[in-house]
Structure 1
Amino acid sequence: MKFISWNVNGLRAILKKNFMDVFEEQDADFFCVQETKLQAGQVDLELPGYHQYWNYADRKGYSGTAIFTKHEPLTVRYGMDIDEHDHEGRLITLEYPDFYVVTCYTPNSQTKLKRLDYRMRWDTAFRNYVTELYKVKSVIFCGDLNVAHEAIDLKNDQSNHHNAGFSDEEREQFTQLLKAGFTDSFRYFYPDQTGSYSWWSYRFNARANNAGWRIDYFVTSNDLQPKLTRASILNDIMGSDHCPVVLETN
């Protein structure tokens, strides 16, 4: 099966660019998007053969996630059933007979880490959430997790130390998540590869200079490692400040 995750940085905007071309060309079983930035009824997507699931933020034009899939799930869950975390449309969980698929748009800690305390609560709650899912069956989760885990996951690690997405606290939370029984699929295949990024600032010609960050992930429960066949970053696909990331399984 083929899974795609893409932070589109505004679905209405990217629909005027290349979204449908990319969607049709990739022909994924699961196409997960983050930062849709819209409310119910603001777009009407015709995606023949796909089921559509949307989670909208209470705040207009902010956050939001969606999953488009060829496979109808057994159940659909929006959020974590924790009121503090369930008003920004950041999480969708689809259940299948043998596994869960989760798309996630992790909160950004923001300038000067002013939202770091909330981010720590989110990270802990999310780790507990996917760990509880894994007690039932296998888990695949993806999305803009807003953290570059290791120094090789961003171009300028020293100058970005303590910035949002590369603080010690956020990186340690991701370490604890992996230790709870999960695999960063890209690093599973490419443990030492450098220069592979999924997000670039719009400033300073960052994308042209490949001064980026790898903050978009497919993470799987460890039991799925034998079924992983490919993980890749489609950094030639434009349209957003993020590019799509891919996971393929057998």
Structure 2
Amino acid sequence: MKCISWNVNGLRACLKKGFMESFVKLDADIFALQETKMQPEQAILDLPGYKQYWNSAERKGYSGTAVFSRIEPLSVTYGLGIEEHDHEGRVITLEFPDCYFVTVYTPNSKRGLERLAYRMEWEDAFRAYLVTLD
């Protein structure tokens, strides 16, 4: 299984800079994106053979993740299942018979560490979430 993970820092901009050519050339079974900064309806991606899974932030143009998979997962989970952490589209989990695939876009602490307390809470919640995947 070939997996690619890519922080695109805005997928719509990346689409104008050769994203599709790279996507085809990399030929991954699972392709995960972080920091998509879009809702899925803002750009139509023609990806034959891939199922698309999107977790967009409620705030437009902010964070977000996506996974494109040739392999049909048993299940897909969006977020951590914790209301206070699931508004920014940061986690998608695909369950397969022998493993889990998780894409995550971790919150930034920001300049001056103004969001550090939230980041630490989020990291604790994420680690606790990972333990539940067993």
Q: TM-score, normalised by structure 2?
A: 0.98
Cα separation, 1, equivalents of 2:60 and 2:122: 21
* Paired residue total: 134
Where in structure 1 do 4 or more consecutive aligned residues deviate above 4 Å? none
1:106, CA displacement in angstroms? Answer: 0.2
1:131, CA displacement in angstroms? Answer: 1.6
5+ long unaligned stretches in structure 1: 137-250
Structure 1 residue identity aligned to 2:45:
L
1:61, CA displacement in angstroms? Answer: 0.4
Say whether 1:124 aligns with 2:107: no
Which of the two has higher C-alpha Rg?
1
Cα separation, 1, equivalents of 2:92 and 2:12: 20
The residue that corresponds to 2:107 in the other structure is: 107
1:22-41 pair list within 5 angstroms: 22-41=22-41
Query: What SS does the aligned partner of 1:41 have?
Result: helix
1:40, CA displacement in angstroms? Answer: 3.4
Cα separation, 2, equivalents of 1:101 and 1:130: 11
Structure 2 residue identity aligned to 1:108:
N
5+ long unaligned stretches in structure 2: none
The residue that corresponds to 1:77 in the other structure is: 77
Percentage of matched positions with identical amino acids: 65
* C-alpha distance after superposition, 1:61-103 (max 9, x if no partner): 0000000011011111000110110000000000111111000
* C-alpha distance after superposition, 1:91-118 (max 9, x if no partner): 0000111111000000000001000000
| CA RMSD in angstroms, aligned pairs only | 0.7
Say whether 1:52 aligns with 2:52: yes
Query: What SS does the aligned partner of 2:128 have?
Result: helix
The residue that corresponds to 2:90 in the other structure is: 90
1:21, CA displacement in angstroms? Answer: 1.0
Cα separation, 2, equivalents of 1:86 and 1:33: 17
Q: TM-score, normalised by structure 1?
A: 0.53
Cα separation, 1, equivalents of 2:132 and 2:38: 30
Structure 2 residue identity aligned to 1:74:
L
Cα separation, 2, equivalents of 1:52 and 1:72: 10
Say whether 1:64 aligns with 2:52: no
1:59, CA displacement in angstroms? Answer: 0.2
Query: What SS does the aligned partner of 1:103 have?
Result: strand
The residue that corresponds to 1:4 in the other structure is: 4
